């Protein structure tokens, strides 16, 4: 088969460069990316560099306000807040990104299969998604954690299980519309195998949508994990995610408001940045979206 | 239209069944759960459980009984509050949630709808960028952060409003919880309405309306309003349901005696039937509200309503 | 010269982009006489739609409009929304390209038909309904009463376009602007719509400006033709004269690309080589020069002015010799 007459991949290299340029012009997204990079850097470096660790209590330094030896103050057990918040960021980011990746993987596989297969397989798979969509997940996760005990793995799985539904729907829709585009018919008429079609034509077009929604899933997941931690259902002490820190802070907000506000600021920063980044990616990769 | 309704019901029933089955499975299959025969329990509870749940019967019989009870709206007895059924607790708590939830959504619709429309009409101006920035913030800050922060500012520092408690329909006690609950929905609705409005304003039929010389007010109210509201309608179904589940946090932060608080204390105290029962209730409410929203949407869209 | 219904002088519609100014319409002069059927033909990007939109002030928000458009002596460029609002639909009406999207799917046909008349003339619901039924009859829609309560999605494309035309004529405007009214329709329906336009013009005495990319459509209905390229008018003549004595290379190219129904098929489909220019990057001279078979040095220096070649026949070209050369 003469490679020269194969239809070009639908998303050519030039289009990726165009998208990159569009992204670079989107100022809020760039600011968001910079802020995220800054937070990640802090989260990685501070615990390594700081003389304090996140678990050791210091009975002489209980409830110190920010300033002096402890840049952000200390908590009820004398532990340095800066280090604890950085560990909190680590955990929130880790769980957020990892769980998002898992749910994106599940969602893409599910949606692409349903969309590509079509017919009754598609209907069945999507009915399952519809049914799962109406299951009240937050109460269910709480119930599961209560019944099966607190386990990091459970939280992880539960979070991932919640978010794959949206991505599955989107990917299925995209696959369906791709399937019916003329270039797929042309490729099929040339006798390309199913695998080649999926790899050269379907996947590059899906990639754009998947990147956008993966980035937009991360803040939802981070918030969900924070919510579970706030309820005391997340990681075990002395480890603390941002949700746990906020929960502790809320208990002491009348006397030591900084215990609440500082982790809250970091959580908001991270979540907002991911949202703006997702918006920027959406504008860059899908310019039909009018802003 | 009837066909549409029938189709939606056809999905709703198996969904309810799935949720009920999951609930049943969780109650019976968990080690250390209420029906674990290996566990030792005070004799009165043991007796009442055996009597109520017919534990001597085969599992499938128990399952059918459970479904039958659910179909009659009986959610079972509570474990932590002896002699009280889950139904009674729900009856006590639901009105609180209903009031706070409806007020929150109403606020969200009015404020969000207005802000989003103005942002679309004055695109790329300050009326657009500033509210939309706050909207992103509103979606990003979780309720368990805004709740305590609002209390911190308005109750603790400024002493303008009370920090919690339920006193019926009293605006001083409702203002903060409703505001905290409404914030993320307002933000989401503002963004959604703005997007929908921009899309509608640039659509061909609006251009036709302008070309007819109709005044802007007529174009907006008669031609643009409905297509802009449509996504809002289909959003409200799941929104109503999630307001209920989201109230879990609001109630514990503001000390409101709603279902969510019972749910939380039940979770901590291992009141399985209460917790599972409320989850089933949530499921039923989600399905019901989604159905309602779909019906409204279908009724408003002539293309669906008049399918021959 | 008799008072023109519409007098356009040096009309420019410019959009500002990151790459510089985009000249959608670049200096158009034309007069429209009462009851005249003017055809405007050109490729996509020639500025023909923007020209129509400028007459009603309906261009996209970023557009800058310069020059003069006088309707019965009244200046429309820069006129406020109130002035334009009184004219739109009442004196100058417009029909758009795609009837599928031009009608509001949520409102009934009856509402959309009558609202213009009720707004401009303060007509009562009954009076407006009567008039609308008359028009539905005039555009040959069967069972007009039934259509009143129906929604656009319940009608076929051809019927929808007729409704759009009826909607435009309900206030008896002097001028009907038609932006590619047949492009989105099947060929058979196209013919019906064109016949309808001809019939309505005879009855209502409205002037019609019809924009299309299809020279065949022009041949069917127009009295006079404007040929546009890259935002400028390159040739202007009566329809008969244009087809028999086209004297601009672009018009010749357009005429050539119509494959005749009778006679042997050409070996290659005739077309004009090259692509239309990017309106943001127009060449300094004649915009058609890069694709022209007769271009010479003068063509690259400055765009040629529109000059008479015969009475009522204008063209913008420096080349004086015979046409017939193939590029």
ipTM: 0.85
Q: For the residues B193-208, what does the mean pLDDT come to?
A: 90
Q: For the residues B217-244, what does the mean pLDDT come to?
A: 86
Neighbours of A289 (CB within 10 A): 12
Under the banding of pLDDT at 50, 70 and 90, the label for residue A10 is low
B227 touches chain C (CB under 8 A): yes
Residue B216 has pLDDT above 70, yes or no: yes
Instruction: Tell me the shortest Cα–Cα distance from A112 to chain B, in angstroms.
Output: 23
Q: Which residues of A touch B164 (CB under 8 A)?
A: none
Residue spans of the domains in chain C: they are 6-91+171-315
pLDDT of residue B308: 40
Lowest pLDDT segment from B64-68, B73-77, C91-95, C292-296:
B73-77
SS3 B41: coil
SS3 A60: coil
- Mutation test of the interface with chain A: which of B80, B183, B267, B287, choosing the one with the most A Cβ atoms within 10 A? B267
pLDDT of residue A3: 42
Residue C305 tokens read as: 């002015």
Contact A253 B290 (CB under 8 A): no
Alpha helices, DSSP H, located in C235-301: 239-244, 249-256, 297-301
Of B103 and C187, the one with more pLDDT: B103
Residue A182 has pLDDT above 70, yes or no: no
Partner A, chain B 192-221, Cβ-Cβ below 8 Å: 198-199, 202
SS3 C47: coil
Under the banding of pLDDT at 50, 70 and 90, the label for residue A4 is very low
Contact B211 C90 (CB under 8 A): no
B111-129 confidence digits (pLDDT tens) = 999 999 889 888 888 888 8
Residue A46 has pLDDT above 90, yes or no: no
Instruction: Tell me the shortest Cα–Cα distance from C153 to chain B, in angstroms.
Output: 7
B89-102 confidence digits (pLDDT tens) = 888 888 888 888 89
Neighbours of B266 (CB within 10 A): 27
A122-137 confidence digits (pLDDT tens) = 888 888 888 787 777 7
Under the banding of pLDDT at 50, 70 and 90, the label for residue B83 is low
Q: How far apart are CA C127 and CA B164, in angstroms?
A: 62
Sign of CA dihedral B249, B251, B255, B261: negative
Contact B245 A261 (CB under 8 A): no
pLDDT of residue C114: 92
Contact B211 C96 (CB under 8 A): yes
Contact A230 B144 (CB under 8 A): yes
Q: How far apart are CA A247 and CA A76, in angstroms?
A: 13
Contact A147 B26 (CB under 8 A): yes
Q: How far apart are CA B141 and CA B149, in angstroms?
A: 11
pLDDT of residue A282: 79
Model pTM score: 0.78
| CA closest to A277 among chain B residues | B136
Contact B213 C164 (CB under 8 A): no
C101-112 confidence digits (pLDDT tens) = 899 999 999 999
Percent of chain C with pLDDT over 90: 34
Residue spans of the domains in chain A: they are 18-46+81-285
Find out whether A107 and A166 touch, Cβ atoms under 8 Å.
yes
Percent of chain A with pLDDT over 90: 5
Residue A248 has pLDDT above 50, yes or no: yes
Q: For the residues A234-250, what does the mean pLDDT come to?
A: 81
Instruction: Name residues whose C-beta falls within 8 Å of residue B19's C-beta, 6 or more positions apart in sequence.
Output: A135, A136, B279, B280, B283, B284
Percent of chain A with pLDDT over 70: 85
| CA closest to A147 among chain B residues | B30
Residue B282 has pLDDT above 90, yes or no: no
- Mutation test of the interface with chain A: which of B36, B148, B200, B251, choosing the one with the most A Cβ atoms within 10 A? B148
Q: How far apart are CA C208 and CA C194, in angstroms?
A: 12
Which CATH number, 3.20.20.70, 3.90.400.10, 3.40.50.300, 3.30.565.10, labels domain C6-91+171-315? 3.40.50.300
Instruction: Tell me the shortest Cα–Cα distance from C1 to chain B, in angstroms.
Output: 30
| CA closest to B192 among chain A residues | A291
pLDDT of residue A6: 47
Residue C195 has pLDDT above 70, yes or no: yes
Under the banding of pLDDT at 50, 70 and 90, the label for residue C184 is confident
A82-95 confidence digits (pLDDT tens) = 888 898 899 889 88
pLDDT of residue B110: 93
pLDDT of residue A91: 87
| CA closest to A264 among chain B residues | B145
B29 touches chain A (CB under 8 A): no
Number of alpha carbons in the 13 Å side-chain half-sphere of residue B107 = 21
Partner A, chain B 102-131, Cβ-Cβ below 8 Å: none
Q: Averaging pLDDT over each range in B25-34, B59-68, C213-222, which range is the top one?
A: C213-222
Q: Which residues of B touch C107 (CB under 8 A)?
A: 222-223
Instruction: Tell me the shortest Cα–Cα distance from B25 to chain A, in angstroms.
Output: 12
Q: For the residues B17-21, what does the mean pLDDT come to?
A: 81
For all residues of chain C together, what is the average pLDDT? Answer: 87
Neighbouring chains of C at 3+ CB pairs under 8 Å are: B
Partner C, chain B 174-213, Cβ-Cβ below 8 Å: 203-205, 207-213
Q: A18-46+81-285, which class in CATH?
A: mainly alpha
Find out whether A197 and A179 touch, Cβ atoms under 8 Å.
no
Q: Averaging pLDDT over each range in A273-277, C208-212, C271-275, which range is the top one?
A: C208-212
pLDDT of residue B40: 59
CA distances from A164 to A114, A127, B303 (A): 14, 14, 31
Quick one: C161 exposed, middle or buried, by C-beta within 10 A (0-12, 13-18, 19+)?
buried
Instruction: Tell me the shortest Cα–Cα distance from A211 to chain B, in angstroms.
Output: 20
Partner B, chain C 58-87, Cβ-Cβ below 8 Å: 58, 81, 84-87
Neighbouring chains of B at 3+ CB pairs under 8 Å are: A, C
Contact C103 B207 (CB under 8 A): no
pLDDT of residue C110: 92
């Amino acid at each position: 088969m003469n490679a020269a007459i194969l239809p070009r991949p639908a998303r050519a290299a030039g289009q990726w460069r165009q998208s990159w340029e569009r992204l670079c012009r989107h100022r809020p997204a760039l600011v968001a990316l910079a802020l995220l990079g800054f937070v990640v850097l802090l989260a990685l470096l501070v615990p390594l560099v700081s003389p304090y660790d996140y678990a050791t209590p210091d009975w002489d330094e209980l409830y110190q306000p920010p300033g002096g030896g402890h840049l952000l103050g200390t908590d009820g057990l004398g532990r340095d807040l800066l280090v604890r918040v950085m560990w909190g960021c680590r955990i929130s980011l880790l769980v957020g990104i990892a769980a998002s990746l898992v749910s994106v993987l599940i969602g893409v596989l599910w949606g692409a299969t349903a969309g590509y297969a079509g017919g009754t397989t598609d209907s069945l798979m999507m009915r399952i998604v519809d049914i799962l969509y109406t299951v009240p997940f937050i109460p269910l996760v709480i119930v599961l954690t209560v019944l099966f005990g607190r386990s990091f793995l459970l939280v992880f799985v539960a979070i991932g299980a919640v978010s794959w539904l949206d991505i599955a729907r989107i990917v299925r829709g995209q696959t369906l519309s791709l399937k019916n585009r003329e270039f797929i018919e042309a490729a099929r008429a040339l006798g390309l195998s199913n695998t080649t079609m999926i790899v050269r034509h379907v996947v590059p077009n899906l990639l754009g949508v998947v990147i956008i929604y993966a980035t937009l899933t991360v803040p939802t997941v981070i918030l969900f994990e924070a919510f579970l931690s706030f309820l005391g259902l997340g990681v075990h002490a002395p480890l603390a995610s941002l949700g746990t820190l906020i929960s502790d802070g809320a208990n002491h907000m009348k006397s030591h408001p900084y215990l609440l506000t500082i982790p809250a600021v970091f959580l908001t920063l991270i979540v907002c940045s991911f949202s703006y980044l997702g918006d920027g990616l959406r504008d860059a990769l899908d310019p039909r979206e009018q802003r | 239209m009837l066909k549409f309704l029938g189709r939606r019901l056809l999905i709703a029933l198996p969904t309810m069944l799935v949720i009920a089955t999951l609930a049943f499975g969780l109650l019976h299959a968990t080690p250390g759960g209420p029906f674990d025969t290996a566990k030792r329990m005070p004799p009165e509870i043991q007796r009442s459980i055996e009597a109520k749940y017919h534990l001597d019967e085969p599992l499938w019989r128990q399952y059918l009984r459970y479904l039958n009870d659910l179909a009659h709206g009986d959610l079972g007895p509570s474990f932590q509050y002896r002699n009280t059924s889950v139904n009674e607790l729900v009856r006590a708590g639901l009105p609180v949630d209903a009031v706070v939830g409806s007020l929150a959504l109403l606020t969200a619709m009015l404020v969000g709808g207005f802000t989003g429309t103005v942002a679309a009409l004055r695109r790329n101006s300050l009326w657009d960028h500033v509210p939309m920035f706050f909207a992103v913030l509103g979606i990003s800050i979780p309720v368990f952060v805004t709740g305590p922060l609002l209390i911190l500012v308005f109750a603790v520092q400024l002493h303008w409003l009370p920090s919690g408690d339920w006193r019926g329909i009293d605006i001083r006690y409702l203002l903060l919880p409703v505001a905290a609950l409404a914030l993320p929905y307002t933000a989401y609705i503002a963004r959604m309405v703005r997007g929908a409005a921009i899309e509608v304003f640039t659509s061909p039929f609006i251009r036709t309306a302008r070309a007819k010389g109709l005044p802007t007010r007529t174009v907006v109210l008669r031609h643009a309003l409905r297509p802009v509201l449509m996504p809002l309608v289909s959003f409200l179904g799941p929104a109503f349901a999630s307001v209920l589940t989201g109230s879990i946090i609001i109630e514990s932060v503001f000390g409101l005696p709603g279902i969510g608080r019972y749910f939380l204390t039940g979770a901590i105290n291992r009141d399985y039937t209460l917790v599972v029962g409320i989850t089933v209730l949530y499921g039923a409410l989600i399905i019901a509200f989604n159905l309602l929203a779909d019906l409204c949407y279908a009724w408003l869209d002539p293309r669906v309503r008049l399918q021959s | 010269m008799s008072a023109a219904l519409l007098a356009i002088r040096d009309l420019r519609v410019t959009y500002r982009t990151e790459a510089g100014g985009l000249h959608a319409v670049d200096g158009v002069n034309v007069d429209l006489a009462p009851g005249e059927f003017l055809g405007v033909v050109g490729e996509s990007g020639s500025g023909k739609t923007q020209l129509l939109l400028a007459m009603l002030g309906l261009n996209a928000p970023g557009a800058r409009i310069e020059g003069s458009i006088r309707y019965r002596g009244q200046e429309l460029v820069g006129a406020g929304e109130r002035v334009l609002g009184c004219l739109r639909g009442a004196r100058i009406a417009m029909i758009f390209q795609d009837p599928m999207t031009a009608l509001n799917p949520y409102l009934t046909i009856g509402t959309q038909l009558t609202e213009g008349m009720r707004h401009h003339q303060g007509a009562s619901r009954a009076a407006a309904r009567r008039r609308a039924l008359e028009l539905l009859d005039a555009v040959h829609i069967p069972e007009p009463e039934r259509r009143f309560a129906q929604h656009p999605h319940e009608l076929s494309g051809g019927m929808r376009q007729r409704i759009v035309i009826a909607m435009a004529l309900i206030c008896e405007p002097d001028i009907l602007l038609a932006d590619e009214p047949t492009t989105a329709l099947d060929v058979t329906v196209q013919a019906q719509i064109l016949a309808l336009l001809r019939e309505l013009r005879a009855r209502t005495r409205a002037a019609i400006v019809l924009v299309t990319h299809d020279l065949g459509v022009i041949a069917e209905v127009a009295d006079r033709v404007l040929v546009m390229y890259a935002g400028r008018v390159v040739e202007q003549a009566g329809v008969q004269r244009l087809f028999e004595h086209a004297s601009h290379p672009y018009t010749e190219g357009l005429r050539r690309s119509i494959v005749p129904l009778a006679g042997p098929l050409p070996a290659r489909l005739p077309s004009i080589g090259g692509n239309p220019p990017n309106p943001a990057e127009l060449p300094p001279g004649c915009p058609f020069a890069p694709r022209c078979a007769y271009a010479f040095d003068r063509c690259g220096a400055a765009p040629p002015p529109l000059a008479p070649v015969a009475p009522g026949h204008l063209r913008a070209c420096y080349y004086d010799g015979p046409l017939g050369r193939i590029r």
